[in-house]
Amino acid sequence: MKIYCNPLNFGYKYQFNKQDDGSVVASREAADPSLIRFRGKYLLFPSMTAGFLYSEDLVHWEFQPTEHLPIYDYAPDVRTAGEYLYFCASSHEEGVFYRTRDPFGDEYERIEGAFPFWDPDLFVDEDGKFYFYWGSSTTEPLYGIELDPATMQPIGKKAALCAIDTEVKGYERNGENHVPSRSKEEMEMILAGLDRQNMPESMKEAARNYIMERPYMEGVWVNKHDGTYYLQYGTPSSGHNIYGDGVYVSDRPLGPYVLAKNNPYSYKPGGFLPGAGHGSTMEDEDGSVWHISTMRICKNHNFERRIGLWPAGYDGDGELFCNQRYGDWPMDLEKLRRDPWANPDWMLLSYGAKITASSVAEKKVITDAAAAAMGRTKTEEVSYDPQNVCDENIQTWWKADVAKTKETPQWISLDLGKICNVHAVQINFADDDLRPELPEGFGLRDALMQERWIDRTPQKTRWLLEGSVDGKDYFVIEDKRQAETDLPHDMVVSEDGWKLRYVRLTVTELPYGQAPCVSGLRVFGLGGGKLPAKPAQVTADLRTSLDLDVNWKDGAAVSDSAGGNSRDDSRDAGTDAETDAGTDAGTEGKSWDPAVGYVVNWGYAPDKLYHSYQVFDKRVSIGGLVKDQALYLRVDSFNENGITEGDVRKIL
């Protein structure tokens, strides 16, 4: 088995970012990934990584540093043409291309372009012609032009390809769940203060766009399939859960392009780690299609982000799709190659589990800077409650007491409530207002109107993971107390599994000697119980032409009160060896177990429910619709034992 889990498991580099008060805070970042195949390897180039990652199988990644590429330029684009790998990245000052036959040798030929560009993408057509695309703006469209392969100079004039239209494309509206973060009054007061600031007009304009949450159209990537060009783009903002990728199609590389029916084709607003925008799409060595994009944390810094990879493809009608239903659970890569819509084998066991810890840091009060600018006082209390590690929210975490961390290794323990068949544990470390001593070689650099420094020094993340049946006698699951790696989203996997009830993590070393912060101690496997019932009494209210409010009830509770049940559409999530999970075995007496969570699926046809939103409540508001497009809906339920599909209904 080749199992991976999002965010991808590699060493995200620390960024030392200058704050408004002049201080420097460190947090990790990687974003805007370009993923390609080159000479038998998969190469992954994310922003702010000071190099690239490479892999033989898309699961295990190694880091290759670079000294000759512009590592502080955002949105690196990488493509292959013949024996060469071509590289370029965003710059407002110059447009430069680099090419090499051997990226591991770190020697690149520099080729001057004709103009500066932001969020670039080079596409090489089947006939050998080069086409170049770029754009990242709240007002400008995406552009494309043909380039001379020998000189990388333009041929002809640039073409405007597509633009933002929030009246039609609901998924382009900005804000968390497409809802503005500030009122009109708040925006006006902040903007008035901004106008009084002494700064370049270009910076003011960028700040206005950020404050007003104007949606971006950015991060273009073009693929060709069966004679159709698929122009993909990121929108509306990487700082929100609804960051996704839309797609336009054309029969010519420079258009005209029209909006594809399936939009947004990459969209992950729910789950542990949301966001799935600004990325790339690639066919692997077997012809399977994969989409890789940017995922959102954005607590320590507005660009605190991670990388996610999902199965994708083209359906029988040529629509580009991406499966993100359980997009941050362990995924079997080989199984998804055979069927990109295959359900996960292992269920989430740790949601809401009882947590104990060696110590807990005191709560912290944060003052809202935007409110302060308006003369108001607005504070937020941040709790480091150990329960945060099992709430399926990467923006909350347990933090150990700083003083006690210096005395002895700190630990956190999870109680599943019963003995389960555990197959995977994902350990997600967080950073919390990290202000270490500035390392040797520190020096701030400009990067997207901010000042930062990337620490290339190898770090270490070390820990001991143990399991127990009774909470007294523990056995070692994985010992990384001597590890030389720095993996903030590491995962331990066992195909055979472990029978256990308790999981204990002891943290022995972290970068810069920081106190342990864990946002997710996520346990996956099979609970050995019964499937959840189909969600009952589902209602769907089309509040506007772009917004859908969906409500439902736990089918198990409704079924029990009604004295009956229906087992239609249930799916097996496991094998006969796993206590017959998802089958009728052992269901005497009670028909269903309660649901843990739900996945709301929708699409423009009953067999094309390509969009999804995972929640742990019994309601959700979907704001990513396309105006006047046909709309079908299905709500699925899941628990520790499997997945049960709901009924498909027509909404519009």
DSSP states of 94-118 as a string? Answer: --EEEEES-GGGT--EEEE-SS-BS
Please, which residues bridge with residue 34 across strands?
45
- pLDDT in the model for residue 583: 32
Residue 95: Cβ within 10 Å count? 20
Residue 568: the pLDDT is 38
Mean pLDDT, range 18-40, rounded to an integer: 95
Q: Which residues lie below 8 Å from residue 366, measured CB to CB, with a gap of 6+?
A: 379, 380, 381, 382
- The CA-atom distances, in angstroms, between 602 and each of 11, 534, 547 are 35, 16, 12
SS3 380: strand
Roughly how many angstroms between the first and final C-alpha of the chain, as a whole number?
A: 41
Dihedral sign (CA 239, 244, 249, 252): positive
Residue 640 has pLDDT above 50, yes or no: yes
Helices (H), 141-229: 184-195, 201-211
Q: Are 505 and 411 in contact (CB under 8 A)?
A: yes
Q: What is the pLDDT of residues 405-446, one digit of tens each?
A: 999 999 999 999 999 999 999 999 999 999 999 988 899 988
* Strand extents, DSSP E, 575-629: 597-603, 611-615, 619-622
Q: Is the pLDDT of residue 373 over 70?
A: no
Closest CA relative to residue 507, chosen from 531, 527, 487: 487
CB atoms closer than 10 angstroms to residue 300: 19
Residue range 13-28: mean pLDDT, rounded: 94
Q: pLDDT > 90: what percent of the chain?
A: 85
**Model confidence over 259-306: pLDDT tens digits?**
999 999 999 999 999 999 999 999 999 999 999 999 999 999 999 999
Question: 203 falls in which pLDDT band (50, 70, 90)?
Answer: confident
Task: State the span(s) of the chain assigned CATH 2.60.40.10.
Answer: 536-650
394 phi, psi to nearest 5 deg:
-70, -15
pLDDT band at 195 (very low <50, low <70, confident <90, very high): confident
Higher pLDDT, 372 or 583: 372
Specify the domain boundaries for CATH 2.115.10.20 within the chain. 3-174+214-344
Class of domain 3-174+214-344: mainly beta
Cβ neighbours of 628 (radius 10 Å): 10
Q: 52-64: buried (b, 16+ CB within 10 Å) or exposed (e) per residue?
A: bbbbeebbebebe
Asked if residue 495 has pLDDT above 80, the reply is yes
Nearest of 605, 617, 633 to residue 262 by alpha carbon: 605
**Does 485 score more than 50 pLDDT?**
yes
Q: What average pLDDT score do residues 8-15 get?
A: 98
pLDDT at residue 369, as a whole number: 63
pLDDT digit string, tens, across residues 136-190: 999 999 999 999 999 999 999 999 999 999 999 999 999 999 999 888 888 888 8
Q: What is the pLDDT of residue 561?
A: 63
**Cα 411 from chain centroid?**
27
Residue 570 pLDDT more than 60?
no
Give yes or no for residue 559 having a pLDDT over 90: no
Average pLDDT over residues 316-321: 98
* pLDDT for 208: 83
pLDDT tens profile 574-633:
333 343 344 333 334 458 999 999 999 999 999 999 999 999 999 999 999 999 999 999
Output the six-digit token pair for 1: 């088995």
The pLDDT value given to residue 449 = 76
* Residue bearing tokens 């990226």: 103
Q: What is the pTM of this model?
A: 0.94
Exposed e or buried b for every residue in 334-356, given b needs 16+ CB within 10 A? ebbbeebebbbbbbbbbbebebe
pLDDT of residue 366 exceeding 60: yes
Residue 590 pLDDT: 57
Task: Write the DSSP symbol of residue 432.
Answer: -
The predicted pLDDT at position 376 comes to 67
Tokens of 425: 């544990």
Q: Per DSSP, which regions of 260-350 are E strands? A: 266-267, 277-283, 289-296, 305-314, 320-322, 331-332, 347-348
Task: In whole angstroms, give the CA distance from residue 351 to residue 228.
Answer: 43
Tell me yes or no: is domain 536-650 CATH 3.40.50.10470: no
Residue 194's H or E segment, with its range, is helix 184-195
List where CATH 2.60.120.260 sits in the chain. Answer: 354-441+452-526
Length of the chain: 652
Element (DSSP H or E) covering residue 405: helix 402-407
The CA-atom distances, in angstroms, between 652 and each of 602, 607, 619 are 11, 15, 19
- The encoded tokens of residue 507 equal 């943290």
Give the separation between CA 520 and CA 219, rounded to whole angstroms.
Answer: 29
Task: Give the separation between CA 377 and CA 308, rounded to whole angstroms.
Answer: 37
> Higher model confidence: residue 24 or residue 585?
24
Each residue's pLDDT tens digit, 389-406: 999 999 999 999 999 999
Q: What is the pLDDT of residue 119?
A: 98
Asked if pLDDT for residue 483 goes beyond 90, the answer is: yes
pLDDT in tens, 212-241: 889 999 999 999 999 999 999 999 999 999
What mean pLDDT is reported for the chain? 93
HSE of 382, CA atoms in CB hemisphere, 13 A = 15
pLDDT at 588: 42
Q: Does 536 score more than 80 pLDDT?
A: yes
Query: Is 60 exceeded by the pLDDT of residue 108?
Result: yes
Residues 6+ apart with CB under 8 A from 447: 48, 72, 73, 74
In which band, very low, low, confident or very high, does the pLDDT at 569 lie, cut at 50, 70 and 90?
A: very low
At 440 the pLDDT is 86
CB 32 within 8 A of CB 76: yes
Class level of CATH domain 354-441+452-526: mainly beta
Any bridge partners for residue 284, and if so which?
none
* Cβ-contact 440, 66 below 8 angstroms: no
Instruction: Report d(CA 356, CA 547) in Å as an integer.
Output: 40
